[in-house]
Amino acid sequence: MGRLQEKVAIVTGAASGIGLATAKLMASHGAKVVAADINFDGVKKVVEEIRQAGGDAISVSVNALEEESIQEMITIAKVTYRKVDILFNNVGGTKADKDHAIVDLDKETWDFAFRLNLRSIGYGCKHVIPHLIENSGGSIINTASMAGILGDLDSSAYGSVKAGVISLTRYVATQHGKQGIRCNAVAPGLILTPATEAYFTEEVKQRFVRHNVLNRLGKPEDIAQTVLFLASDASSFITGQTIQVDGGSGIHAGTFAEFMEMRDQH
Ligand X SMILES: NC(=O)c1ccc[n+]([C@@H]2O[C@H](COP(=O)([O-])OP(=O)(O)OC[C@H]3O[C@@H](n4cnc5c(N)ncnc54)[C@H](O)[C@@H]3O)[C@@H](O)[C@H]2O)c1
Binding site for ligand X (CB under 6 A): 13, 15-19, 37-39, 42, 62-65, 90-93, 116, 143, 145, 188, 190-191, 193-196
Considering the complex, state which of residue 145 and residue 156 has its C-beta at the smaller distance from ligand X. Answer: 145
Strands (E), the chain: 8-12, 32-37, 56-61, 86-89, 138-143, 181-188, 242-245
Alpha helical stretches, state H, 85-187: 107-113, 120-134, 156-176
Considering the complex, state which of residue 135 and residue 156 has its C-beta at the smaller distance from ligand X. Answer: 156
Contact in structure between 129 and 176 (CB atoms under 8 Å): yes
- Sign of the CA dihedral with 196 first, then 244, 171, and 183 last: positive
Least gap, CB of 34 to ligand X (angstroms) = 13
Least gap, CB of 93 to ligand X (angstroms) = 5
Considering the complex, state which of residue 135 and residue 243 has its C-beta at the smaller distance from ligand X. Answer: 243
Separation between Cα atoms, residue 86 and residue 232, nearest integer Å: 9
The residues, any chain, with a CB within 8 Å of residue 52's CB and separated by 6 or more, are none
Q: Could you give the C-alpha distances from 101 to 82, 97, 151, 156, 260, in angstroms and in order? A: 46, 11, 11, 6, 29
What are the φ/ψ torsions at residue 89 (nearest 5 degrees)? -80, 95
For residue 139, which amino acid is it? S
Catalytic residue among 81, 123, 158, 199: 158
Least gap, CB of 134 to ligand X (angstroms) = 25
Cα dihedral value 25, 30, 31, 34, nearest 10: 70
Least gap, CB of 1 to ligand X (angstroms) = 28
Please confirm, yes or no, whether 158 is among the known catalytic residues.
yes
Considering the complex, state which of residue 199 and residue 259 has its C-beta at the smaller distance from ligand X. Answer: 199
Least gap, CB of 202 to ligand X (angstroms) = 15
Considering the complex, state which of residue 135 and residue 144 has its C-beta at the smaller distance from ligand X. Answer: 144
Catalytic positions: 158
